[in-house]
Amino acid sequence: MSRALDSCLARLMRNLTDDAQERRNVFWRTLAMVLTGAAMALYGGELWAGFVTEAGFSMTQIGILGSVSQFAGAFGLLAFMGLADRIQNRIRAYTLCILVTAVFPVIVSALVGMKVGVPVLLVSFAGLAILNQLISAIPIMLDYPVIVRTISPAIRGRLFAILTVACGVLPILTGVLSAVLLKNLAFPTGYVCCFLAAAVMVVLRAATFSAQKELPSLAVPGASRSALPFAAIVDVLKMKEFQWLAGPHVLRGLTASVIGFAVPQGLKLGILPPEYPGYATSVNWAAGILAGIVLGFIADRWGAGPSTLFGDLLYALGMALAIFFRNPLIFLLFYFVLQLGQNVEASAVPFGCTIIVPPELMGAFSSARLMVLIGSGAVGSLLFGYLFDHYSPLAIFGIGAGLKLLNGLWFWYVFRPRR
């Protein structure tokens, strides 16, 4: 089996890398990303937004739930930051944490079946979100340290493009299937089916990710001097790369929180029928596949800065126009443009980080970077949830689009080549 796989990968990746283990790493990480996309599509994003909206949550309550989840994620990254570059068996630790998170969609499904009120659901979901985010903080902070030790720098731009495409393969199908379920099954049965399927995908994802191996040629010991988070954060704050990137990540987190209200606003304003969160999921991930193809052409040629700026231009255009026309098909068209830009940006930014940040500090840096991103997203969820309940959604999306343009220019400036 191993020889047959190696022979097949040698033909498929002959222009990518000559290292057999690196080819296997690309294959297993890509397969894990396919399953990751399916799990995210079935338990998160548009489906989750549609679920809480149909369950009776207000925009403010949705914002509170998102904020609690993101604050917990930021706290988890801070608390475990000192461990990011000290964990020796990174792949095993990543795998075990992912396996644990498979229980959360099952618990949510059980809670929904109890038919409790919105206040009880809000408190319960907030508690589950806190636990989920704390556990997920470990694989999140280990992701880039694993990449820089399993994939060589020369092909990382193309790797991020491959992963972006892979992430959208199954969600296109699952999005359409979920729309059929939502249309034909009474609430909340359709959502419960999707959540339980997501749990299965998470287990399969963990199994495939564990097949990777670090390359001896990329072995770099972590440089963290302490497992305590405060020592690690001091080290990161001294890094010029973190000082360059902190500001644009704050702005990125704030603007990203606006996207989470697009589908709820579409449902609330009557633009979208109840089954359209499923179609929006397919549109989102179809945009992700196209973004990966685009990134494959431009990432290693243009560099991270221009690639990020290009993504943010599309991001801003879609954000400004998604709910401007009160038609579900036109909504999906501009939602596609928005998600195309978002996916290009989401891969171009970490690609740039892996190029400019020293690998021995990648774990602590990634934790701090994502802590800033998630923390600002938590603030944005609270802020924009309140604003959407009290002010014109067109104006708020317009403000978000303007901030996104500024964000793209800021990243372009930070990632520009330095002599």
Q: What is the pLDDT of residues 253-282, one digit of tens each?
A: 998 888 888 888 888 888 888 888 888 888
Q: What is the pLDDT of residues 300-331, one digit of tens each?
A: 788 888 999 999 999 999 888 877 777 888 88
Inside any domain, residue 255? yes
Give CA–CA dist 29/158, Å, rounded.
13
Give CA–CA dist 115/97, Å, rounded.
30
φ/ψ region of 45 (left if φ > 0, alpha if ψ in -120 to 50, else beta) reads left
Inside any domain, residue 410? yes
The reply to whether the predicted model has a pTM over 0.85 is: no
Task: Report residue 340: phi and psi, to 5°.
Answer: -60, -50
Res. 162 pLDDT band, cuts 50 70 90: confident
Crossing angle of helices 229-237 and 240-259, in 10° steps, is 100
| pLDDT value of residue 28 | 92
Give CA–CA dist 395/218, Å, rounded.
49
Q: How far is CA 333 from the centre of its chain?
A: 21
**What does the block give as tokens for 297?**
């052409």
Number of domains in the chain: 1
Other residues' Cβ atoms within 10 Å of the Cβ of residue 92: 11
Quote the mean pLDDT of the chain. 86
Inside any domain, residue 71? yes
* Residue 115 confidence (pLDDT) above 70: yes
Res. 108 pLDDT band, cuts 50 70 90: very high
Inside any domain, residue 12? no
Inside any domain, residue 227? yes
Inside any domain, residue 6? no
CATH number at residue 205: 1.20.1250.20
Q: What is the pLDDT of residues 204-261, one digit of tens each?
A: 999 999 999 988 887 766 555 555 666 777 777 788 888 888 899 999 999 888 888 8
Q: Which domain holds residue 86?
A: 19-415
* Residue 176 confidence (pLDDT) above 90: no
End-to-end CA distance of the chain: 48
Q: Output the CA–CA distances (angstroms, integers) from residue 249 to 243, 256, 409, in the order listed.
A: 11, 10, 12
User: What is the per-residue DSSP string for 199-253?
Assistant: HHHHHHHHHHHTT----GGG------S-SSHHHHHHHHHT-HHHHHHHHHHHHHH
Inside any domain, residue 4? no
Inside any domain, residue 178? yes
